[in-house]
Structure 1
């Protein structure tokens, strides 16, 4: 039940409530009409009973329920769907970072405040290691479980476009390798196979196939063997300027839209790629690297302030990820539309600079992506022709029959 999964995302983030206020779900109802309300919004006697119940379970070393309690109440069956009741962020609590980002992101003082707030959030979350890669959900009794697939915005977008994603809902991962393989096969490959306008011509199809084949062949070069089985940490995978609320000095006050957060490999936690104000397919390493270093300097200072042991420092993992090229590899993994450009601009030069202009590279690599390559290419060209024809017809019908 996706409604419950959204609610569950907030439980791990409550650990940084002293640093920033995450938008909270006050109450919710799943599509099965089961209603849950946050404990602080229920009568005193229920709050006390729940408090002692949690204390008892904790004392007995049993799992402890979340802060959401299932209860009876007014029936909303007529809605035909679940609901979420969430906090409202007042204007006095801040505004979206995107409102001032373009005009002021070059001001070093503001960036430092932003980096300090963001560092505390990332470090606070990273202090809680998780056993698997996946998303949290809440069961019918209010218990939190790491039992859902790693539900990202990318999966949601692909499924909305009727592109099959062969990752079952209850599948979680205990190794980085299996997660990376499924990400490439079930997201990136599936997009190329099933998106009607996924390629523009024969050359574009070969270009994409070669990049995907190379990504699969080189994964072990960019992922650390010693981190294969963890640690895994909660990650805010959709953290961008419009999901961050700040005060006038760019101190983070609130975070919203946490539904796409999930547990992921620690080496996939990086400084936000938008820090240099560049689109993913236009990133210039010479422009991004200085601001990345600036962020890491602040992160290291924050780690020292929090007395985090050197072996547990996130900054060390981030530095090694940059040096190995892991930053670019995992950035490509998380963006089906950006993977190809990131591969040719930033990953291939690490391995064989100049191969992008070598026709032999494509002649060889495309054959390793699928069996019967020519048949697949012809099918994709046919899909594109059908898509273009249907698109033209839709516009012609609209012109002939305007509202």
Structure 2
């Protein structure tokens, strides 16, 4: 009889595990790793108190009370530890740490620090360039190297004056200005180092997660109109500033905000967490659309090469290779040549319902979890995919287009109200064209290693080929790489070995 095994959020049996497209063998280790990591954090409550007191400039860490493990909030990639600060006016803060077993730290050491640096860079960029976008306060952050950075406002008085004057002098002289996050080591060596962000806690009076009310009220036109106009204003505010390259902002060792990191995405860290190389180095930024698209297609190729259960059988292998070959062949038809070198605009790529706080009328009050924000080609900016509560590979064109049109009407209205003349093409014009040409679907497929093949089959391939599908699948795989027959044989062997190990993990006897 097969065993039931524990994943992070559910139990799973072999009958379900064998149908999953993700690497379940890898995910079976998460639950134990989570317990060990949480226990390790809990045993270092003194460190948590010290680091909170350090960033808030408190006289004593004893003013900080760390919540019980049962009250910790954890999603797919982070754990948030509420800490109550008992001073004259008690308040809560959130210590947010990336989960090392979910961000690829084992396979790519430094991924946790990269994630924290880039998220801190996003806070700094938005605070400096888009003060109208509501986000939590970032009090400080730290890296596994022991480096810590504190927000200028929370520094000791003399330190604050010095760095305020320093920023002004740099600005007067025309030099790059240091960010508001200043290298600020603790007075005492902590002995243990985690990467983290210390964030403002969003009080219930400020709003609640959109996901709490989305299912019940998504069909309320008044609420939806308020939401869409709020999203449109945020999108326009962020995209009005052209950015010179494709990449992610980070805060460097000296506290400067720089555009020097690869465009970090959820797809990159998911793949690297699955021990799949992406081939995209951390210091890599892009000056052209086609060079970026080529590298994104490469890590889709690498998923096929390195994930042990990437294919189910020979037919599935042929279909995937056909899709990957075609995606590379047709890429140039989806992007306007005149936009090849920009404009590039900042994008919050993880803005789903649980990361949007709203009031009772669905006016946006705060955006949280700013991870994986980066500058992207303007043609990769899309309306949210979750408008119909479907996954990226489940969208029904006719149903989605109704709400997409409604969102675009809000975007057009907000864009017309902007007094300033844009320095780049109208965002609404670009987004309308990407929908009309199918670029919307192509860029959506690029963003999803797991959803690419379904999106290609349903929405991209029909733009080029509605007949001779059998012939298409016979020819295209041979254009993916040389010796494709040997590659296919290797992938089928990988799947056979994966199935054997999966059966072993669940105590299932292999058929004779």
Map of 1:59 onto structure 2: 172
1:392 lines up with 2:506 in the alignment:
no
Contact 1:134–1:149, Cα closer than 8 Å, also in 2: yes
- Superposed, 1:308-319 pairs within 5 Å as 308-309=420-421, 312-319=425-432
Q: What do residues 292-351 of structure 1 show as CA deviations (whole Å, max 9, x unaligned)?
A: 111111111111212243764211110111111110110000001111111111111111
Map of 2:215 onto structure 1: 102
Q: What do residues 327-376 of structure 1 show as CA deviations (whole Å, max 9, x unaligned)?
A: 01100000011111111111111112235xx2111000111112111111
Q: Distance in 2 between matches of 1:372 and 1:235?
A: 39
1:372 lines up with 2:487 in the alignment:
no
Higher helix share: 1
Map of 1:198 onto structure 2: 310
1:359 lines up with 2:473 in the alignment:
no
Contact 1:12–1:234, Cα closer than 8 Å, also in 2: no
Residue 40 of structure 1 and its aligned partner are, at CA, apart by 1.3
Q: Distance in 2 between matches of 1:224 and 1:52?
A: 45
**Structure 2: any 5+ residue segments left out of the alignment?**
1-112
Q: 1:158 aligns with which of 271, 283, 301?
A: 271
What is the root-mean-square deviation in Å for CA atoms of aligned residues? Answer: 1.5
TM-score (norm 2): 0.75
Map of 2:301 onto structure 1: 189
Q: Distance in 2 between matches of 1:76 and 1:271?
A: 47
Residue 177 of structure 1 and its aligned partner are, at CA, apart by 0.3
Q: 2:494 aligns with which of 383, 393, 400?
A: 383
Q: Distance in 1 between matches of 2:137 and 2:312?
A: 43
Residue 5 of structure 1 and its aligned partner are, at CA, apart by 2.3
Q: 2:454 aligns with which of 341, 346, 360?
A: 341
Q: 1:299 aligns with which of 411, 418, 440?
A: 411
**Structure 1: any 5+ residue segments left out of the alignment?**
398-403
Equivalent residue pairs, number: 393
Contact 2:119–2:373, Cα closer than 8 Å, also in 1: no
Map of 2:228 onto structure 1: 115
Secondary structure in structure 2 of the residue aligned to 1:280: coil
Q: 1:128 aligns with which of 209, 221, 241?
A: 241
- Greater Cα offset, 50-59 or 238-247: 50-59
Map of 1:400 onto structure 2: none
Residue 10 of structure 1 and its aligned partner are, at CA, apart by 1.0
Residue 32 of structure 1 and its aligned partner are, at CA, apart by 2.0
Residue 76 of structure 1 and its aligned partner are, at CA, apart by 5.0
Q: Distance in 2 between matches of 1:78 and 1:196?
A: 39
Q: 2:130 aligns with which of 16, 22, 37?
A: 16
Q: Distance in 2 between matches of 1:92 and 1:17?
A: 21
- Greater Cα offset, 216-225 or 28-37: 28-37
Greater length-normalized contact order (CA 8 Å, ≥ 6 residues apart): 1
Contact 2:140–2:148, Cα closer than 8 Å, also in 1: yes
Q: 2:387 aligns with which of 251, 265, 275?
A: 275
Secondary structure in structure 2 of the residue aligned to 1:167: coil
TM-score (norm 1): 0.94
Map of 1:147 onto structure 2: 260
Q: What do residues 188-230 of structure 1 show as CA deviations (whole Å, max 9, x unaligned)?
A: 0000111011111100111111011001000111111011001
Map of 1:401 onto structure 2: none
Secondary structure in structure 2 of the residue aligned to 1:370: coil
Map of 2:347 onto structure 1: 235
Q: Distance in 2 between matches of 1:303 and 1:394?
A: 55
Q: What do residues 113-148 of structure 1 show as CA deviations (whole Å, max 9, x unaligned)?
A: 111111111111111111111111111110011001
Q: Distance in 1 between matches of 2:193 and 2:497?
A: 36
Q: Distance in 2 between matches of 1:131 and 1:334?
A: 21
Q: Distance in 2 between matches of 1:168 and 1:253?
A: 36
Q: Distance in 2 between matches of 1:258 and 1:136?
A: 12
Residue 257 of structure 1 and its aligned partner are, at CA, apart by 1.3
Residue 82 of structure 1 and its aligned partner are, at CA, apart by 2.8
Q: Distance in 1 between matches of 2:275 and 2:195?
A: 23
Q: Distance in 2 between matches of 1:289 and 1:223?
A: 21
Q: Distance in 2 between matches of 1:277 and 1:73?
A: 45
Contact 1:65–1:143, Cα closer than 8 Å, also in 2: yes
Contact 1:147–1:172, Cα closer than 8 Å, also in 2: yes
Q: 2:199 aligns with which of 86, 90, 96?
A: 86
Q: Distance in 1 between matches of 2:180 and 2:368?
A: 19
